[in-house]
Chains A and B, each alone.
Chain A
């Protein structure tokens, strides 16, 4: 069963901590994405990557960075966590080609205290 795996379902971190959210896909997809989901705001794109070592900013990249050293792994980094980064974080991947749907992970619910 192909899938996208996010390393943690729930995380609690302190303000100022450096936080790593890990995402691994086993479908050999070229494209990977990080979203955050907040009530009433839908899915907002943070960063995405079309290839290894390649990254592009999404709509809300401030306060985040990413790393893609291997094709199957895409990491989201919160350099200095703040309470306004408390959210559900969703990773997704897709193959190359127009209109190809995303496969999402189960999400990581991050609470920053």
Chain B
């Protein structure tokens, strides 16, 4: 099945650094969502984007729905230890079913 191209696959950063990750597709998506998965838990929705060009923030997190509707990015500012986990992008093309990226594993050195 189709998957979104998410990069980077992993990141190793120092506490306090900013983080940026993105998701791209060869086809148009109507909705973009970003999830975070803590170790040993299921993914939890962080941000949902519904319009091309939309920029949405949730605390230190900022995400954007690309103008072409084929990409999205997620930024985390001033990272802290609890930001550790796997971040997934996901999108829909009109149907109920989400298509997921392969995830970005974030590791933070204190």
A43 contacts B42, C-beta separation under 8 Å: no
CB <8 Å contact, A101 and B42: no
CB-CB under 8 A from A99, the residues of chain B are 30-31, 33, 48, 50, 92
Q: Could you say which residues of chain A place their CB within 8 Å of the CB of B33?
A: 99, 101
Q: How large is the interface on A (under 10, 10 to 19, 20 to 34, 35 or more residues)?
A: 20 to 34
0/1 string, A91-113, CB within 8 A of B gives 1: 01010101111111111000000
A45 within 8 A of B: yes
Minimum Cβ distance to chain B for residue A12 (Å):
16
A56 to B3, CA, bound (A): 18
Q: State how many residues of chain B have any CB contact under 8 Å with chain A.
A: 27
In the complex, are the beta carbons of A104 and B102 less than 8 A apart?
no
Number of A-B contacts (CB under 8 A): 63
CB-defined contacts of B96 to chain A, threshold 8 Å: 31, 50, 94, 96, 98, 100
* Interchain nearest-CB distance for A113 vs B (Å): 21
Residue A59 lies at the interface, judged by CB distance under 8 Å to chain B: yes
| Minimum CB–CB distance for A107 against chain B, Å | 5
Task: For the complex, give the distance between the alpha carbons of A41 and B9 in Å.
Answer: 11
Please, how many angstroms separate the alpha-carbon atoms of A96 and B95 in the complex? 9
Q: Which residues of A contact B1 (CB under 8 A)?
A: 44-45, 58-59
Which residues of the partner chain A approach B3 to less than 8 Å between Cβ atoms? 42
Within residues 59 to 113 of chain A, which ones have a CB less than 8 A from any CB in chain B? Answer: 59, 90, 92, 94, 96, 98-107
Give B contacts to A, CB under 8 Å.
1, 3, 9, 30-31, 33, 35, 40-45, 48, 50, 88, 90, 92, 94-98, 100-103
